[in-house]
Amino acid sequence: MAVELPHSKLITSAARDVLRPLGLRRRGRSRVWLDDRGWWLGVVEFQPSGFSRGSYLNVGVCWLWGWNGDVSFDVGSRVKGAGFVSYETDEQFAPEARRFAELAAARVEEFRAAFPDLTAAADYLFAHNNGIANACLHAATVAALIGRYDHAIRLLHDIEADAAARPAAYGDSDAWMRHVHESAVCLRTKTGQARFLAERCEQVRAGRAALKLPPLADSPW
C-alpha cells in the first residue's frame, strides 16, 4: 500500500472535516471527493502537480447520463482564487488545505442549488453550451429527458452541421459523431425516444456501479 504523503494527509483531514459532513465521500484513496446527487455528481478534486508537492482545486459537475468510463468536469473546473499552493511545512500547508476544503464546500452548495432537477439543468445547458459540441450533446440529452424532443434533434443537427463545416475541430471522432447522428434519428419516433431514455438511465446506473455508489431504487429522474 502506498504511503500517503504529508500534504495529502492534510488535504484528507481537511476534506473529512469540511466535506464529509455535507455528505461527500472520498473516491478510494484518491484526492477526489464525490457529491452523489443521483443522476449527477458534484466532483471535488484536490489536483496534484507533477512538479512539486501541493494542490490545485477543481470543483464541478459530472452528468452521469453521459458516463463514458470516468468522472468528468462537464460544468465547472478550477475554482477562482484557488491557484496552486505548494507544500513547505505542515504548519504552512494545513490552513491552506482547510481553505481549499471550505472553497470546495461553498462551490458544492452552489451546484446543489443550481441543479435541483432536470428542468434547472436544462435551463443552464440551453443557455451555456456556447456551441461547444460536447456541451451541446449534454443540452440535447437533457432536452430529450424533459420531453423537448424537437429541441434535442435541432441541437444534434447543429453538432453535425458544425462537424461538416469544421471537420478538423473534431479530429478522429467517427464513433462519437455516429452516436450523435443515431441519437437524432432515434428521437424522431416514440419507440426511439423510449429507447434513448432507457439508454440514458442505463448510463447513470453504469456510472454509479463503476464508482461503487449505491444503486438507485427507482428511475434516476
Global model pTM greater than 0.75: yes
Give me the residue label for grid cell 500534504.
7
Q: Please tell me the predicted confidence (pLDDT) of residue 168.
A: 82
Q: Please tell me the predicted confidence (pLDDT) of residue 199.
A: 96
Instruction: Say how far apart CA 178 and CA 135 lie, in whole Å.
Output: 17
Q: Please tell me the predicted confidence (pLDDT) of residue 3.
A: 67
Instruction: Say how far apart CA 160 and CA 153 lie, in whole Å.
Output: 11
Each residue's pLDDT, cut to its tens digit, for the chain (221 residues) gives 566 889 999 999 999 999 999 999 999 999 999 999 999 999 999 999 878 899 999 999 999 999 999 999 999 999 988 899 999 999 999 999 999 999 999 999 999 999 999 999 999 999 998 888 899 999 999 999 999 999 999 999 999 998 888 888 788 788 889 999 999 999 999 999 999 999 999 999 999 999 999 999 888 98
